[in-house]
Amino acid sequence: MNKLTTLLRKNLKWIICLITLILFIAIIRSVYKESIMNFDNFYYEHISKLISDQMTFFVKMITNLGSAFSLVSLTILILLIPKEKKYGILVGINLITIFVINTILKFIFARPRPLDINLIEELGYSFPSAHAMISTAFYGFIIYLIWQTKISKRRKWISSILLSILIVLIGITRIYLGVHYASDVFAGMLISISYLVLFTSIASKYLYKNNKKSSK
């Protein structure tokens, strides 16, 4: 039993990667069969009950934190911090990589956006949600980097929880605004989690080598 527990702990990230990938594939199959619409309608019906002028203003502010302008601006800011240049390079590579993957997936699945319920105008295909997918990868990687720093554990947890809430809220805003189905958002988050397991594994090797050179 102890050996099994140890084995699971050592391979937890790969188990998470596999589970999220399986769930992503399950959503794809449902989208092609159009059996996912009940799921999508259920979420939109409940979220749309919150629609009001004040809420829409707040939602637009949150969704903008997942926009290309915001994420590129944050990447540039991190790159401008001299001591954190190695982190900035990784953040930039991460952002470009996940953007390319999302663009490819959108063209592969070519799912049209929801009709007649849009509170804002968006172009391009719907599946998977770029805001949800790219924000999960971007802010998720920031969470990973926070845990590589020497700040207190309390600050690490607070930062991680706040960024995780932001990721979820950005996803919800896309459903609220009517520019994505709930399945687009969930799929985007799931594939990003799988991607992050792979990317952080590569990033950890880069940081290890970089730290070794610095210590020398």
Average pLDDT rounded to a whole number, residues 181-190 = 93
- Looking at residues 186-214, what average pLDDT do you find? 83
Q: Can you state the percent helix, strand and coil of the chain, rounding each to 5?
A: 80, 0, 20
- Between these two residues, 43 and 216, which has the higher pLDDT value? 43
pLDDT > 80? residue 7: no
Give yes or no for residue 215 having a pLDDT over 60.
Answer: no
| 91 and 142 Cβ atoms separated by less than 8 Å | yes
> What pLDDT is attached to residue 30?
86
Q: Smallest Cα–Cα separation from 72: which of 88, 58, 83?
A: 88
For the chain, give the percent of residues with pLDDT over 70. Answer: 90
Is pLDDT larger for residue 119 or for residue 62? 62
pTM for the predicted model, two decimal places: 0.88
Answer positive or negative: Cα dihedral of 126, 131, 134, 136. negative
Please provide the average confidence, as pLDDT, over all residues in the chain.
Answer: 86
Query: Does pLDDT of 166 surpass 90?
Result: yes
